[in-house]
């Protein structure tokens, strides 16, 4: 039997972005989670949120999650469901599942380190490489900078790229997507992401015009929790719909898939609660014949993609990987060469944050059970 959880510690981390994602998004917030079992084995995980909720996530870990988890078996698949049931009164997703991810990832890391392998091989490796697509948080970029970014993606060898849309004036989006398509040529896949900016009517009109650019998918065209509107939009348009970065449980993914509202699901491993529910969502998508493309978190998403049946595009946001941000204390677990990602042989999850990083607005010392 797996040893019991003996200690859980957290550390708040703030990672400055190389370029702001917007006026209010200048850094990323991470809560590092350290778990030790009764045999002295240690694993490290993390919860992640760009701007909102990091303090609440840490508090949830330090109090409710720690109180429930201490003394229980240090096995991610055994603890996840009862912990979610226990925390459900405070909310089924959002801060609840983001906080749960910190513990879940740490337990997967501990198990992989105990086995002397990386997390891909612990799950069961199916691929040596995964295709990566170029992505950017670029709606605020002037046109010349957007074009330059698209040119960098072409030079890097990406076969697929994604650009933000949802400008106040649709004409601006059309101008920008025209320019990007001109740069990348007719043969590369082009995806666009509206980040929930449109109403149903706005989305139908915008996608009607942008579909002329042979879009591989339109991402988050509507408010993420509006299932009926997504069902109606999917009925009205021919462009595939991608969503999922703001769905927090397997149940919500099942609702959207079974309603025929989505063609590509995009679970964010942290937002859904960690690797344990991510694998369940991946299994659900495979059973229903829906494509899956993990959202953000390159170092984590690529490792999971390599353990899934079939081929899955991995998102690489320019300058936003933990390695690119200088946040890691050891070599990254994933290397990207051109448009291909592969693992580097790091043990466990392979994501250890630099000891020099902290959140100046929070305590610099990890909290732990005393």
Residues forming the active site: 164, 295
Q: Is the dihedral of CA 5, 50, 321, 263 positive or negative?
A: positive
Other residues' Cβ atoms within 10 Å of the Cβ of residue 155: 9
What are the tokens at 352?
């250890």
Residue 29 has phi, psi (to 5 degrees) of -105, 130
3-state SS, residue 310: coil
The single residue listed with the structure tokens 């009862």 is: 82
What DSSP string describes 65-80? IHHHHTTSBS-HHHHH
Cα separation of 349 and 53, whole Å?
24
Cα separation of 356 and 370, whole Å?
24
CA dihedral 233, 235, 238, 242 (to 10 degrees): 50
**Which of 124, 131, 150 is CA-nearest to residue 336?**
131
Cα separation of 206 and 195, whole Å?
13
Q: Enumerate residues 6+ apart whose C-beta is below 8 A from 63.
A: none
């Amino acid at each position: 039997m797996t040893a019991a959880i003996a200690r859980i510690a957290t550390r708040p981390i703030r990672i400055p972005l190389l370029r702001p994602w917007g006026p209010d998004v200048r850094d990323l917030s991470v809560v590092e989670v350290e778990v030790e079992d009764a045999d002295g084995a240690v694993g490290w995980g993390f919860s992640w949120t760009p701007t909102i909720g990091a303090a609440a996530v840490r508090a949830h870990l330090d109090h409710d999650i720690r109180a429930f988890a201490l003394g229980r078996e240090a096995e991610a698949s055994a603890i996840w469901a009862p912990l979610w049931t226990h925390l459900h009164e405070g909310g089924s997703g959002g801060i609840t599942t983001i906080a749960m991810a910190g513990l879940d990832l740490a337990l997967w890391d501990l198990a992989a380190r105990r086995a002397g392998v990386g997390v891909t091989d612990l799950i069961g490796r199916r691929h040596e490489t995964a295709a990566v697509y170029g992505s950017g948080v670029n709606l605020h970029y002037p046109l010349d900078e957007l074009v330059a970014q698209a040119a960098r993606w072409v030079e890097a060898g990406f076969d697929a790229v994604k650009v933000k849309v949802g400008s106040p004036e649709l004409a601006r989006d059309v101008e920008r997507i025209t320019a990007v398509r001109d740069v990348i040529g007719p043969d590369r896949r082009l995806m666009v992401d509206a980040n929930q900016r449109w109403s149903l009517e706005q989305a139908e009109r915008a996608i009607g015009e942008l579909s002329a650019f042979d879009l591989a998918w339109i991402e988050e065209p509507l408010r993420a929790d509006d299932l009926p509107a997504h069902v109606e939009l999917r009925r009205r348009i021919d462009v595939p719909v991608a969503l999922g970065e703001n769905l927090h449980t397997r149940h919500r993914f099942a609702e959207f898939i079974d309603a025929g509202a989505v063609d590509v699901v995009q679970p964010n491993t942290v937002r859904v609660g960690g690797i344990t529910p991510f694998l369940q969502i991946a299994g659900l998508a495979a059973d229903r014949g829906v494509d899956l493309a993990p959202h953000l978190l390159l170092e984590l998403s690529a490792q999971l993609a390599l353990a899934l049946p079939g081929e899955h595009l991995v998102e690489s946001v320019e300058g936003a990987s933990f390695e690119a941000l200088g946040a890691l204390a050891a070599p990254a677990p994933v290397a990207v060469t051109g448009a291909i990602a592969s693992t580097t042989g790091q043990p466990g999850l392979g994501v250890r944050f630099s000891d020099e990083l902290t959140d100046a607005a929070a305590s610099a010392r990890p909290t732990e059970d005393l």
